[in-house]
Amino acid sequence: MPTLGADMESGTLLEWRVKPGDVVKRGDIVAVVDTSKAEIEVEIFEDGVIDELLVVAGTRVPVGTVLATVRAAMGDGVPESASPAPPPALRAPAPSPTPAAAVPAPATPVATPAPAEHRMHVSPVARRMAAQLGVDLGAVAGSGPEGAITKADVELAAGGRVTPAAAASPPAPAPVAAPTPGPGAEAVAAAAAAQDTAAARQTAMREAIGALMARSKREIPHYYLRTQIDMSRALAWLAEENLKRPVSERLLSSVLLLSAVARAVARTPAMNGFWLDGGFQAAESVHLGVAISLRGGGLIAPALHDADEKSLDELMAGLRDLVARARSGRLRSSEMSDPTITVTNLGEQGVDLVHGVIYPPQVALVGFGGIRERPWAADGMVGARPTVNATLAADHRASDGHAGSRLLALIDRLLQTPEEL
Amino acid sequence: MNEQQLRDVVTGALTQVAPEIDPEALDPAADLSEQLDLDSMDFLNVIVAIHEQTGIEIPERDYPKLATLDDAVAYLAAAQQHGAAGPPG
């Protein structure tokens, strides 16, 4: 069971996407795991062949539990066209001291496209209910938008064959409903079960957030900086740019902010990385964690990978995809474990600024309040300009205020030349 | 499209973004973003969905004119009348 975020202690294996004998490539999705926060698609770290699945779907296991064993991919007739590595004799002693399994596949792109399976639109509530009731989602006709499977569809599919035991919450398989309930009663029982799960998830999520934030406040000596940034150039450029674009390709101002942060962070290595084992480990790439509030409460901060190298269009597409999957679909394991610094944007709710709490083991968090017109003095005159308060919460063990202020100053400077973002 | 159809388009777009809402329970005169806790990404997705259904391109500067359900329906009806980009039918 991989750790999918620093606040995760255990996870429930929801389903396997592979079976023994399947050939897998680094980045393939092999399983779906439910943390207290979300359902996460688990990617495999290396190429190989699935040997044995050790954990049964539906089981909750602590982080670190071995879920499956994977044989190394090389030799044995496994197609390895992408790999220039010489085919070593798999059963002969390894020619080098490095075990074959530990050799990263040299030419296999990390960005392996997700398996071309049909992605079903299923609301998380419906998915959980289906899991509880043993309903095969593949066999359920969706009645929601774009054929999305809703709670009602699952109830309908479960109707007539749901047993009282199945409707009870998993740890307590005692009958809770009348022995022979009518379809109506079944639906009610199912809905109640789903509601229980939703409430339980809320509680679990609050506990997970609480534990992580308490650890952050307990262990990390935060320091806080704030700067006000003139956004008039950035917004004027954005308005003009969006005027040229069809609706579906428009950019949001938050994407300009993310881009500026990513590029500034790339030049401020002391802010980008992890505090681990009593020392700072700088990250080589900028994987920007984006705090996304979940409808109905809670928060998740998955990564936009290599955000400093992406164009605004790519960041916009990435953000749109991430928000959609965080809220209604699924995130991938690498998105949960990779963020090297996080950005939180609370301006939409109308606050002026946010003093963030760092996500351990990260060492910094950049926050934005709302972009709005405020008095701004320039050239001896006070006028009104759109401005935003950018804040930094950073770990004093890893950096000092000097480095932190450089980061904020750089973000400001980058936002003055939006056409270069 | 008539007014009811436009209303359905808007509520359909809203339920795509916020699947848990009950379109019947919407206050047609209240601010949608506040009522449904929509952020700018949600709102843009609503605009995109409306565009897909009606062909109407809503410029960014007009977003405030779609603040409530009633406003949005009125705006779309007017845009259609002016032959903006509405598809036949």
Residue A70 has pLDDT above 80, yes or no: yes
CATH number of residue A385's parent domain: 3.30.559.10
For residue A329, tell me if it sits in a domain.
yes
3-state secondary structure (DSSP) of residue A396:
coil
d(CA A397, CA A280): 8
- Is A251 in the same domain as A363? yes
Closest CA to A397 of A286, A278, A238: A278
State residue A161's pLDDT score: 41
The mean pLDDT value of chain B amounts to 88
Is residue B88 one of the residues assigned to a domain? Answer: no
Same domain, A92 and A156: no
In a domain, B49, yes or no: yes
Instruction: Please tell me the total count of domains within chain B.
Output: 1
Pair (A128, A84) in one structural domain: no
Is A145 in contact with B57 (Cβ distance < 8 A)?
no
Same domain? A292 vs A391? yes
Average pLDDT (A368-384) is 95
Q: Average of pLDDT values for A348-369?
A: 93
Residue where one domain finishes, among candidates A203, A231, A257: A203
- Contact status of A248 with chain B (Cβ, < 8 Å): yes
Each residue of A79-126: pLDDT tens digit? 433 333 333 333 333 333 333 333 333 333 333 333 333 445 666 566
CA distance A39 to A329: 8
* Any domain includes A380: yes
A298 in any annotated domain: yes
Q: State the pairing for strand pair A381-395/A372-378.
A: antiparallel
Angle at A369 between CA A368 and CA A373, to 5 degrees: 125
pLDDT for A185 equals: 53
One domain, residues A158 and A286: no
Within this chain, do residues A199 and A238 fall inside the same structural domain, yes or no?
A: no
Q: So what's the ipTM on this one?
A: 0.84
Percentage of chain A lying above the pLDDT 90 cut: 46
- DSSP letter string over A285-353? S--EEE-EEPTTS-EE--EETTGGGS-HHHHHHHHHHHHHHHHTS-EEHHHHH--SEEEEE-GGGT-S-
Phi, psi of A181 (to 5 degrees): -75, 150
- Amino acid present at A324: A
Residues A279, A408: one domain?
Answer: yes
Is there a contact between A320 and B41 if contact means CB atoms under 8 Å apart? yes
> For chain A, how many structural domains are there in total?
3
The number of angstroms, rounded, from the C-alpha of A312 to the middle of its chain's C-alpha atoms is 20
In a domain, B86, yes or no: no
A139 and A24 part of one domain: no
* A368 and A249 both lie in a single domain: yes
A148/B40 CB distance under 8 A: no
Query: How far does A1 lie from chain B, in Å, by closest CA?
Result: 31
Judge whether residue B7 has pLDDT over 80. Answer: yes
Residues of B in contact with A145 (CB under 8 A): 12, 15-16, 19
Is A362's Cβ below 8 Å from some Cβ in B?
no
According to DSSP, the residues that pair with A373 across neighbouring strands are: A386
- Asked whether the beta carbons of A132 and A166 are under 8 A apart, the reply is yes
**Looking at CA atoms only, how far is residue A208 from chain B in angstroms?**
24
What's chain A's length in residues?
421
Looking at the partner chain, which of A123, A243, A252 has a beta carbon nearest the beta carbon of B40?
Answer: A252
* Domain of A304, in residue numbers: 222-420
Of A83-92, A170-179, A320-329, B75-84, the one with minimum mean pLDDT is A83-92
**Both A243 and A369 in a single domain?**
yes
Give A-chain residues touching B60 at CB under 8 angstroms.
Answer: 239, 242-243, 250
Q: Does A344 touch chain B (CB under 8 A)?
A: no
Residues in chain B within 8 Å Cβ distance of A246: 51, 57
Chain B residue nearest residue A250, CA to CA: B44
Write the DSSP symbol of residue A120.
P
pLDDT at residue A238 in the model: 97
pLDDT for residue A152: 66
Q: Is A132 found in the same domain as A93?
A: no
Query: Which helix (DSSP H) or strand (DSSP E) does residue A134 occupy?
Result: none
DSSP chain B: --HHHHHHHHHHHHHHHSTT--GGG--TTSBHHHHHT--HHHHHHHHHHHHHHH-----GGGGGGGSBHHHHHHHHHHHHHTTSSPPP-
Q: Is residue A210 part of a domain?
A: no
Residue B87 lies in a domain: no
Q: How far is CA A384 from CA A226, A254, A416, B18, B45, in A?
A: 20, 21, 17, 35, 30
Asked if A247 and A130 sit in the same domain, the reply is no
Boundaries of domain holding B40? 3-81
As a three-state string, the secondary structure of A92-112 is CCCCCCCCHHHCCCCCCCCCC
More confident residue, A100 or A384: A384
Supply the pLDDT for residue A197.
72
A110 domain-assigned:
no
Q: Give me the CATH number covering residue B34.
A: 1.10.1200.10
Residue of B35, B39, B45, B46 best to disrupt the A interface, most CBs of A under 10 A: B39
Q: Does A295 touch chain B (CB under 8 A)?
A: yes
Name the residue among A19, A22, A18, A17 with its Cα closest to residue A79: A22
